[in-house]
Amino acid sequence: MFRCAPQTRILRFKKYKGPAISPIEAHNERTKEQYASNPDIDTSWSRYNPHLVQPQGRYRAETDRMITAAHCRVRKDSVRVVEALVTASPEFFKGKSRSEVKAYFEYALKFLESKQSPDTFLSAVVHMDEKTPHLHLCFVPLTSDGRLSAKEIIGNKKKLVKWQDEFWEHMVKRYPDLERGESASQTGREHIPPRLFKEMTQLTQQKEQLDALLTGINPFNGKSRAAEISKLLDSYIPNVSRMKDQLKKYNVAFTQTMTENKKLRQTNKTLSASLDKAKEGSVLKRLEDAKLRQDYEAALKTLDSIPPEVIRFYENRTQEPAMRHDK
């Protein structure tokens, strides 16, 4: 089977002291006429670079104004501006319109606004004119109590990992295909990979095909449809079994009431699982679990509606063991 390249979200930070602020502004705001040092920039597309936060003045002047207003102590070598760069792997943007790309960065900005006061933002601009779209957000690293401290906001390695974890958790709610792209934090829990959601989507599509074949089945057309249904079950049943194993691997909470390795011909009951409520964990995990459990349960319920004569047809053509569920 063809395996798609992973799609990862990306969040990086850079710190700048006074002298570097103007060059960053020139790049972000496209104030230079030519960019010979960066051949990826196509200036004919620069007019499509939308501002999500419009600068209120020159970066350096606005930085000094905010710092003065905060009455905070500043050293000569203090970090005065932090830049957050947000993007994703190129595969994520393929086929997306400009409005869809902009929506991605608007959603990312909501996360950054939840972590740092928007009052400290200098500018947020999306670059559509480079090879891979990306967002530059520049802000003055002022803490909630008015101190200039990039170290406190961005933190050490442990805090950066927390930033990455929380950013992924935010983005994956709307963009479930995105992978974290970096090691998980020390939470003791392995993130559910987007691959599992894709496999569940494929299982759901098979379920819909099975539902369509089962719709309107009767003694007159049952025999002709039985062959199609039986053929579909050849892949559907192993996929249900494999999904069950994957849900266990990633600790998707459910109560196991399946009888392992029962043959399909031995019972006419459903392939199903009685799903327990999610174990204690993060809100995101409970949402993920609920979605996976709901889809999994729906896939299993479809097998309830298979008529006995179709089951018998399937029994006669296969000796493969399968899981069954006792209600």
* Residue scoring higher pLDDT (283 or 249): 249
**Most confident region among 109-113, 185-189, 253-257, 316-320 by mean pLDDT:** 109-113
168 and 207 share one domain: no
Number of structural domains the chain divides into: 2
For the chain, percent of residues with pLDDT exceeding 70: 69
Quick one: pLDDT at residue 43? 82
26 and 147 share one domain: yes
Tokens of 93: 């943007």
Helices (H) and strands (E) in the chain, counts: 10, 8
Residue 186 is assigned to a structural domain of this protein: no
Task: Give one DSSP letter per residue of 117-139, joined into a string.
Answer: -GGGEEEEEEE-SSSS-EEEEEE
Identify the domain containing residue 53 by its residue range: 7-179
Helix axes 283-302, 222-249, angle to 10 degrees: 160
Q: How far apart are CA 244 and CA 295, in angstroms?
A: 12
The mean pLDDT value for 194-213 works out to: 79
Q: How far apart are CA 77 and CA 150, in angstroms?
A: 12
Q: How far is CA 48 from CA 88, 99, 152, 288, in A?
A: 19, 10, 35, 35
175 and 47 share one domain: yes
110 and 59 share one domain: yes
27 and 122 share one domain: yes
Instruction: Read off the pLDDT band of 247 (50, 70, 90).
Output: confident
Residue 56 is assigned to a structural domain of this protein: yes
Q: What 8-state DSSP symbol labels residue 260?
A: T
Last residue of a domain, one of 150, 179, 208: 179
The mean pLDDT value for 25-54 works out to: 82
306 and 157 share one domain: no
Q: How far apart are CA 177 and CA 193, in angstroms?
A: 8
CATH number at residue 109: 3.30.930.30
Residue 78 is assigned to a structural domain of this protein: yes
Instruction: Read off the pLDDT band of 288 (50, 70, 90).
Output: low
13 and 100 share one domain: yes
Residue 143 is assigned to a structural domain of this protein: yes
223 and 161 share one domain: no
Q: How far apart are CA 24 and CA 59, in angstroms?
A: 9
Residue 187 is assigned to a structural domain of this protein: no
18 and 161 share one domain: yes
96 and 163 share one domain: yes
Tokens of 280: 């204690």
Q: How far is CA 201 from CA 29, 144, 314, in A?
A: 41, 43, 25
Name the average pLDDT for the chain: 76
Quick one: pLDDT at residue 312? 67
220 and 261 share one domain: yes
Residue 184 is assigned to a structural domain of this protein: no
In the predicted model, is pLDDT for residue 170 greater than 70? yes
List the one residue out of 73, 164, 66 whose CA is nearest residue 115.
164
Q: Of the ranges 119-133, 140-154, 185-199, 257-271, which one carries the lowest mean pLDDT score? A: 257-271
List the one residue out of 169, 176, 183, 168 whose CA is nearest residue 197.
176
Q: Helical H runs in 185-221? A: 194-214
Residue 2 is assigned to a structural domain of this protein: no
14 and 161 share one domain: yes
In the predicted model, is pLDDT for residue 146 greater than 80? yes
Give the 3-state secondary structure of residue 221: coil
Whether this prediction's pTM lies above 0.75 is answered by no
